[in-house]
Amino acid sequence: MIDVSEGQQEVFLAIAREFSVIMAKKNYGRTDIVRDESSPTTFYAVRHWASASAAEACHTDPEVSALTTRLYQMATVTHVVNGVRRAGPMRLVAPDRRARGMEPDRRSGFDRRSNDDGRDDGERRQGERRVGPRRLRGRAGAIDLVAAARRARENAHAEFSHFKVGAALQAADGSVIAGCNVENATYGLTICAERVAMFKAISEGHRAFTRIAIVADTPTLTPPCGACRQILWEFGGNLEIILANLASDEATHSLQTLLPLPFDARLL
C-alpha cells in the first residue's frame, strides 16, 4: 500500500513504470498498480514474483534500490506479503493488522512499550510515530533520522564512561534501524552505536543503505570511530554521515571523506 504525498501521483506512476520495466527485463516477475478508488493519493502495488530467488535478487538489485529511495522521498509504503509480515527485509504491516491479533513485533516494541518510562504521563514526542522496524515518519515521505538517533541514545548503556551515543541507519527501502552504544566492564567488548545499528540491520536482512545519523551530547559534533568507519564502509559503502548533538547542531559528510583509503574486498 503506497500513500503518495499530495501532488506527487504522476511522479509515483513514473517510478512504477520504471520498476515494471526492470521487473520484466530481469525476469523478476511483474507488478500491477491499482489506484484506491476512495483515495486519489493511495495506490496498491501488487508484485507477482517469478520465484522466491527472483524476489530476493530484486530486493538487492542496485537499480531497484535507487528507485525505492526515490519512492520513499515522496510516499509512505506499507509492505504486506500474503496478508502477513514478510520474514526478510521490508517486514512491515499496518498497525491495525497487529491490533487485530497478529503476533507482536518485539523489535519495534509493540508488545511491551505501553508507556514511556521516564517521560511525564507517558508523553510521546510530537511528530514521531512508530511503524514497523524503527520506521519514523512525521509526514508522508519524510524521515527525521536525527530524531531517531536522539531517541536511540536514550537507551544507551554507558555505565562507565557516561558518554551516550545514538545512531539511526536508513536502509534503501526507507526502513530506519536504530542503535546505541553498549559498554562492558572489560571495556574491550564495548560496542559503538553505529555498529549496533549496522549489525541489527544486517541481521534483519537489509543489504543496501543510504545514510546514518549519529548523535552525542557534546558541543563538538562526534564522528564515528575508526572501527565504525570500517564497518560502515564494508556494509554501506559511501554513506551520507549526519552528525548532530542535543543542541540542534548538525553537519553532513560523506563516508569517503572520513575514510579516504578504506580496506575492503577489492584488496583481497
Rounded to an integer, the average pLDDT of 59-85 is 77
pLDDT value of position 142: 61
pTM: 0.52
Of the candidates 123, 128, 194, 240, the residue annotated as catalytic is 194
Assign 155 to helix, strand or coil: coil
Specify whether 234 is catalytic: no
Q: How many domains does the chain fold into?
A: 2
- The CATH number of the domain holding residue 57 is 3.30.70.100
Given 77, 99, 119, the domain boundary residue is 77
Rounded to an integer, the average pLDDT of 14-40 is 86
Cell numbers linked to 197 = 545499528
Span of 48-62, 65-79, 137-151, 222-236 with lowest mean pLDDT: 137-151
Please provide the average confidence, as pLDDT, over all residues in the chain.
79
- The CATH number of the domain holding residue 204 is 3.40.140.10
pLDDT of 137 over the 70 cut: no
Given 77, 95, 124, the domain boundary residue is 77
Cell numbers linked to 232 = 560502515
User: Is residue 25 within 8 Å of 32, Cβ to Cβ?
Assistant: no
pLDDT of 84 over the 50 cut: no
The residue with cell 493519493 is 41
Enclosing domain of residue 188: 143-267
36: amino acid identity, one letter = D
| Listed residue (138, 144, 136, 152) closest to 92, CA to CA | 136
> What are 33-48's pLDDT values in tens digits?
888 766 788 888 888 8
pLDDT value of position 75: 86
Rounded to an integer, the average pLDDT of 152-179 is 94
> Which conformational region is residue 143 in: left (phi greater than 0), alpha (psi within -120 to 50 degrees), or beta?
beta
The DSSP secondary structure of 1-20, one letter per residue, reads -EEEPTT-HHHHHHHHHHHH
Report, in this order, helix, strand and coil percent for the chain, each rounded to 5. 30, 25, 45
Span of 92-101, 137-146, 154-163, 197-206 with lowest mean pLDDT: 92-101
Q: Is residue 211 part of a domain?
A: yes
User: Is residue 185 within 8 Å of 160, Cβ to Cβ?
Assistant: yes
